[in-house]
Homo-oligomer: A and B are copies of this chain.
Amino acid sequence: MRVIKIVFPFIFLLLLSCSQSAEVKKEADKKIQRKAWVIRVKPDKLEEYKKLHSNVWPGVLKKLKEVNIQNYSIYYRDGLLFSYLEYTGNDFDADMKKMAADSLTQEWWKLTDPCQEPVETAGEGVWWADMEEVFHMD
């Protein structure tokens, strides 16, 4: 009985430690879909676009996290904006609809949309145009 009393806390700690370790691993193994798009930025709106993005509204960032977006970057060169993000959810289209229905995000887009215009080859009604992944290494 005495032995059990002594050993029990160690077993408990061991199990707790293992479960935390498993959680970290589970997080790392989460299925990630990478996405990339391109769009034009109007030359006279570049500075405004950069200024807006140096301080994105917290509510917009919160919504992006809510719809399972992470590691999201936007790059600029030669009149083009390139965006790269990682999606960790199970239904990208549904999550994008959820984001588009968010009133704060809509207000944000009222500021950013006038800075942009789709590339010439974007299809009818397409804003950010998909890019094709030709290589990936984890």
Contact = CB atoms under 8 A, between A and B. Distances in A.
A18 B24 CA distance: 12
Interface string A41-54: 00000000110011
B73 A135 contact: yes
Interface residues of A, number: 53
Nearest to A81: B134
A111 to B, nearest CB: 13
Interface string A1-34: 0110011001101100110110011001000001
Interface of A: 2-3, 6-7, 10-11, 13-14, 17-18, 20-21, 24-25, 28, 34, 36, 38, 49-50, 53-54, 56, 61, 64-65, 69-78, 80-82, 84, 119-121, 129-138
